[in-house]
Amino acid sequence: MNFDLTVILPTFNEAENIEKMVVTVDAICKAHNITEEILVVDDSSNDSTIVIVKRLMDDHPFLHILIRTQNPGLSPALYDGIINAKADLVQCIDCDFSHPPEKIPVFYHLLKNEGYDMVIGSRYVKGGEVINWPVLRMVLSSGAALLGRLLIPHIKDSGSGFFAINRNILTGTQLSPRGFRMGFEILGKAHWTRVQEIPIVFRDREFGQSKLKGRIICDFLIQCGSILHYNFIAMKSNNIIRAWKLFLNS
Ligand SMILES: Nc1nc2c(ncn2[C@@H]2O[C@H](COP(=O)(O)OP(=O)(O)OP(=O)(O)O)[C@@H](O)[C@H]2O)c(=O)[nH]1
Ligand SMILES: [Mg+2]
């Protein structure tokens, strides 16, 4: 079967959200004539997430699951999902309704019909917003976004987990996925030409528990070092210079 789009749902213990996410994403795609694969990438959840997905797979032929047993983490899971997707156009979206699934057709249109390489759902462009975050979370996220802008200045929300790519831009790149910011890894290393941010309203999860840990800050700093090394020491990319030129010309 040919799929227009693969929607990746990364999961770790999302039993309270997974079924509703699958049903919602499918309804939105069907309403927009998008033939989608939904690929759940699970890091061996110890709740009933996997059981629920396997049950849903019986009557949802477009639903697949990848169960990972090594190197757990959101970015490594997204990377495996991108590699194993059946479509070249790939959408990543958190499985807790923090990212609005109804925006998926907008991402798809920009990739498919407008030829963008990457589309980012941004909390920090005009019209974007975060609802119900504690102050500390807001400060940490804004600080990370600012640090991200030192490397990729023309993108305001490089750390957003709600993004879509044409995965052909990964050909020949050597990514080192770690932490929570897979989109930033792609911006720092992959062969993109046209990237677009669209505003999204990010809502705190209603059900299930956050998997965010303090270690994520450390992971992000290591990732910044890795992108700097990739661009200026290994000389495998000139994305930082290109991003600065785009920023200064905008
Ligand atoms: N496969 C996999 N998915 C993960 C892992 N950690 C988090 N996720 C998923 O990635 C998405 C984002 O994780 P969250 O815990 O919601 O992180 P967050 O949105 O920054 O935190 P909250 O605002 O508290 O929800 C969710 O769908 C999680 O289930 C992991 O180690 N492996
Ligand atoms: Mg979340």
pLDDT at 214 over 80: no
Whether residue 53 has pLDDT greater than 70 = yes
49 pLDDT higher than 90: yes
- What is the number of the ligand 1 atom nearest to the C-alpha of 11? 29
Range of lowest pLDDT (96-110, 112-126, 130-144, 176-190): 130-144
Task: Give the per-residue pLDDT at 179.
Answer: 94
Calculate mean pLDDT across residues 38-55: 98
CA of 14 to the centre of ligand 1 (A): 9
pLDDT at position 66, please? 98
pLDDT of residue 206: 84
- How much distance in Å is there from the Cα of 18 to the middle of ligand 2? 13
The answer on pLDDT for 216 being more than 90 is no
Question: Predicted confidence band at 133 (pLDDT cuts at 50, 70, 90)?
Answer: confident
pLDDT digits (tens, 9 = 90+) for 61-115: 999 999 999 999 999 999 999 999 999 999 999 999 999 999 999 999 999 999 9
Per-residue three-class SS string for the chain: CCCCEEEEEEECCCCCCHHHHHHHHHHHHHHCCCCEEEEEEECCCCCCHHHHHHHHHHHCCCEEEEECCCCCCHHHHHHHHHHHCCCCEEEECCCCCCCCHHHHHHHHHHHHCCCCCEEEEECCCCCCEEECCCHHHHHHHHHHHHHHHHHCCCCCCCCCCCEEEEHHHHCCCCCCCCCCCHHHHHHHHCCCCCEEEEECEEECCCCCCCCCCCHHHHHHHHHHHHHHHHHHCCCCCCHHHHHHHHHHHC
CA of 202 to the centre of ligand 2 (A): 9
Residue of 25, 39, 48, 74 with the most ligand 1 atoms within 8 Å of its CB, for mutation: 74
User: Which tokens in the block code for residue 213?
Assistant: 């840990």
Ligand index nearest the alpha carbon of residue 79? 1
Pocket of ligand 1 (CB under 6 A): 10-12, 14, 41-43, 72-74, 77, 94-96, 98, 204-205, 210-212
Q: How far is the CA of 94 from the centre of ligand 1 (A)?
A: 7
The stretch 127-155 carries a mean pLDDT of: 93
Residue 50 has pLDDT above 90, yes or no: yes
**pLDDT value at 48 more than 80:** yes
Average pLDDT over residues 116-145: 93
Nearest CA to ligand 1 atom 25: 210
pLDDT of residue 212: 66
0.85 surpassed by pTM: yes
Coil, helix or strand at residue 3: coil
